[in-house]
Amino acid sequence: MVIGGGPAGSSTASLLAGRGRSVILLEKERFPRFHIGESLLPRSLSVLRELGVVPALEQGYLRKYGARFCDSATGRIAHYRFVEALDPGEQFAYQVPRAAFDEMLLDAAGRRGVQVLQGWTASDVCFEGGRAAGVVARSDDGSSRRIDASFVVDASGRDTLLASGKRLRGLLPGLDKTAIYSHWDGVWREAGDDQGNIQIVLFEPGWFWFIPFAGTMTSVGCVLSSEYVRTKRPDEALGAFFERTIAMSSFASEWLRAATLATEVGAVADFSYRVRELAGPGWVLVGDAAGFIDPLFSTGVHLALENARLAAETIDAVLDAGDLDPARFDPYVRAARRGAETFVGLVQAFYDGAFREALFAEHQRPLLRRMITSLLSGDVFDEGASWSRFVVERYPARLG
């Protein structure tokens, strides 16, 4: 049983079905539905290949060859191209409007034999003798039923069904930020292969993202300090506050000068958190249900897909062995934590200033540049990799 049809849930379900398991997936919404979080990382490509969706990505989505960081205060620009990574196995990623991307992954799960129930909310996970044994599910037509399962995967995203119920969530120090987001038509973008770059624009209260899609639309949002967000007047509409914020950055206002707002402006507050336990008897958490990090380095979907791959492998082995001992998930938990905490440390060091200086350093050592590029590519799951060890030692995560 998989709860949630975002990238974490649909991939876990697909990979389990591919191993011959019988899987039911519950998704409370009906797809396509809007979701924020549209920039992928190159290191996700191997899982996306396993899911069989790369040909469709090639057809309909813009390739992303790199990331550009622009500092509004100083005018400094740092451009990282994935081809410069220490292990440049994957040289690009994709920019993906999530309504279409998530629907594509969910459809792929259905084609692999997953029974997908849309419009069904898991309201509770049922435990018997201390192990998860199924869920209570409510349909959007009002009916309700219990569905038994030999294993429950919580991929409910930021709803964190199990972690909230078990009070396992904690905040991450220094990451009490708020995001504002929207889609715009006609935003400036680079030319040629660089048109697909993500642009990260630093300015005094935080940073903006500019994520271009195939066609003329661009996702534009910003992540703001809580002190700055408190300057929003009670009678000020979110859209007006966003415009006032855009005016604070020379880069952002210039790039949006000829653009038009194409969606409502949305916001999400205090979004980073960690979860203290990721697995137990008969259950595991994947994707945002297992924790969430500030989106500065576009890591959410990558961590979700990597979680999915390892979780599916482990669940399959656990079911084969008929042994629900949570210790079997230790390698999964270690890998999930390692990937996430590498980025927590980097994001905290960015806000503190230390990693920001490394990103923009004028006389950057070539090796450091390649290490940073590897991290920006999402290459953080190999414990033995020198860049991974370097960053964990140099920028250790503060977990509170």
Q: Does position 122 bind ligand FAD by CB under 6 A?
A: yes
Residue closest to 387 by CA, chosen among 356, 363, 366: 366
Q: Does position 110 bind ligand FAD by CB under 6 A?
A: no
Max Cα distance, the chain (Å): 64
Instruction: Report, in Å, the least distance between residue 355 CB and ligand FAD.
Output: 18
Q: Does position 26 bind ligand FAD by CB under 6 A?
A: yes
Considering only residues 260 to 279 of the shown chain, the ones binding ligand FAD according to CB under 6 A are 268, 271
Which tokens sit at 206? 């935080």
Pattern 165-184, binding to ligand FAD, x per CB under 6 A?
A: --------------x-x---
Q: How far apart are the first and last CA of the chain?
A: 33
Residue selected from 27, 71, 84, 90 as contacting ligand FAD according to rule CB under 6 A = 27
Instruction: Report, in Å, the least distance between residue 46 CB and ligand FAD.
Output: 16
**Candidate ranges 22-30, 251-259, 334-342, 387-395; the one touching ligand FAD (CB under 6 A):** 22-30
Which tokens sit at 150? 């030999």
Q: Which is nearer to ligand FAD, 148 or 325 (CB)?
A: 148
Distances (CA, A) of 136 to 119, 179, 259: 14, 33, 46
Binding-site size for ligand FAD (CB under 6 A) equals 40
Write out the DSSP string of 24-84: EEEESS-SS---S--B--GGGHHHHHHTT-HHHHHHHSEEE-EEEEEETTT--EEEEEGGG
Residue 396 carries which DSSP code? P
Q: Which is nearer to ligand FAD, 56 or 368 (CB)?
A: 56
Instruction: Report, in Å, the least distance between residue 149 CB and ligand FAD.
Output: 14
Name, in order, each residue with C-beta under 8 angstroms of 176's C-beta and a sequence gap of 6 or more: 226, 270, 272
Q: Does position 5 bind ligand FAD by CB under 6 A?
A: yes
Other residues' Cβ atoms within 10 Å of the Cβ of residue 149: 20
In one-letter notation, the amino acid at residue 219 is S
The span from the CA of 70 to the CA of 192, in Å, is: 19
Write out the DSSP string of 264-319: --EEEES--EEES--EETTEEE-GGGGEE--GGG--HHHHHHHHHHHHHHHHHHHH
Pattern 193-232, binding to ligand FAD, x per CB under 6 A?
A: ----------------------------x-----------
Instruction: Report, in Å, the least distance between residue 320 CB and ligand FAD.
Output: 25
Instruction: Report, in Å, the least distance between residue 323 CB and ligand FAD.
Output: 27
Q: Does position 121 bind ligand FAD by CB under 6 A?
A: yes
Residue selected from 84, 288, 306, 341 as contacting ligand FAD according to rule CB under 6 A = 288
Determine the length of the chain.
400
Considering only residues 298 to 337 of the shown chain, the ones binding ligand FAD according to CB under 6 A are 298-302, 304
Q: Does position 3 bind ligand FAD by CB under 6 A?
A: yes
Q: Which is nearer to ligand FAD, 62 or 304 (CB)?
A: 304
**Candidate ranges 26-34, 188-196, 275-283, 348-356; the one touching ligand FAD (CB under 6 A):** 26-34
Q: Does position 162 bind ligand FAD by CB under 6 A?
A: no
* CA angle at 185 for the pair 251 and 238, rounded to the nearest 5°: 70
Sole residue written with tokens 């336990």? 277
In one-letter notation, the amino acid at residue 69 is F
Q: Which is nearer to ligand FAD, 6 or 280 (CB)?
A: 6
Could you list the residues that contact ligand FAD (CB under 6 A)? 3-9, 26-29, 35-40, 121-122, 155-159, 161, 179, 181, 221, 268, 271, 287-289, 295, 298-302, 304
